[in-house]
Structure 1
């Protein structure tokens, strides 16, 4: 399985480290900022790094040739249709909510704000609708009373994301396809950035 990883920050680095333990080839890493820690980790591992021309959009020319699967890990850039078409299996991302609930940039914060007793994570197909693509994998966890968004992310949601990404990558490697269950739009909620 030949992968292009698009991401940033700590979760991008931990995703890179997780992928190294699976039977995949990391063809390239795409970042919005050349100084990002993911860029440094990729260079240290001898993986080619591409800096996005537009920090809000990844285009086909930024995807490594022969990529089978694009994975996003803490990327706030849209993966363009041309970029998705450049990968034979398209792309997947991790969202720290039980999609279609809490679509958006502040999913964990909205989980806490809404007082949800249960949270979770979703591996979803990258698509035109933000966080709206088909679900490839999903798992839930309890929210502890009084837990902050950061505590929930660090304790449960980040590790859950790595586990689910690994499972979907393994499935795709064996079956040469991605699992897909379509989201029920009647349950979709938005999680915009909180002030």
Structure 2
């Protein structure tokens, strides 16, 4: 599969390495611009591996997507991927969210799950649309929230590896010619939480 990865930090870099290891062609990555002389981990990893890297802030547009792209993969992406950009990829855009959507939409899903003392959470691979974490669900899996878990521990132990596995399985299905239409989210079950007060999600995801 010919993919473009849009994202940042550990998950973006790990997905880039995984895609290459699994034989997919990574046409480009889009990551946040550097802060001073410090590059984002995804951007730096792409440079090390010789993959074209683009600095994108706020919005990914059609001109950012290289020709011939099969699918956009959003891994910890905090920029908006607009409809024209999604249409440039044959299979649109797939995003990973660390919750059992439609529950805990929003940037601090892990912190809210821990804060609310939920016993179970999980991750969702979904088709991206114009909403915030609202697109059709392609696949999901769950994990326990263990006693004493912190958001960082839960992310590193379960939710980040889960995201990589769901991306891998989806790409395998696409490579076999399967369609990933997805299942519409049940709005009666939806919840959206604001940024967690005093929290920095970057601290949980590296």
Give the TM-score of the pair, scaled to structure 2: 0.91
- Offset of residue 128 of structure 1: 1.0
Distance 1:184 1:22 in 2: 33
Aligned to 1:91: 93
- Offset of residue 105 of structure 1: 0.2
The question of 1:191 aligning with 2:193 is answered: yes
SS in 2 for 1:30: strand
Higher mean displacement: 14-23 or 59-68: 14-23
8 Å Cα contact 1:125-1:133 kept in structure 2: yes
1:118-129 → structure 2 map (5 Å cutoff): 118-129=120-131
Q: Which runs of 5+ in 1 are unaligned?
A: none
Aligned to 2:6: 6
The question of 1:19 aligning with 2:19 is answered: yes
Q: Which runs of 5+ in 2 are unaligned?
A: 198-206
SS in 2 for 1:175: coil
Distance 1:38 1:23 in 2: 18
- Offset of residue 177 of structure 1: 2.5
Distance 1:141 1:159 in 2: 11
Distance 1:23 1:99 in 2: 30
Give the TM-score of the pair, scaled to structure 1: 0.96
Aligned to 1:78: 80
1:49 corresponds to which of 49, 53, 75 = 53
- Offset of residue 50 of structure 1: 1.4
1:131-146 → structure 2 map (5 Å cutoff): 131-146=133-148
- Offset of residue 167 of structure 1: 0.4
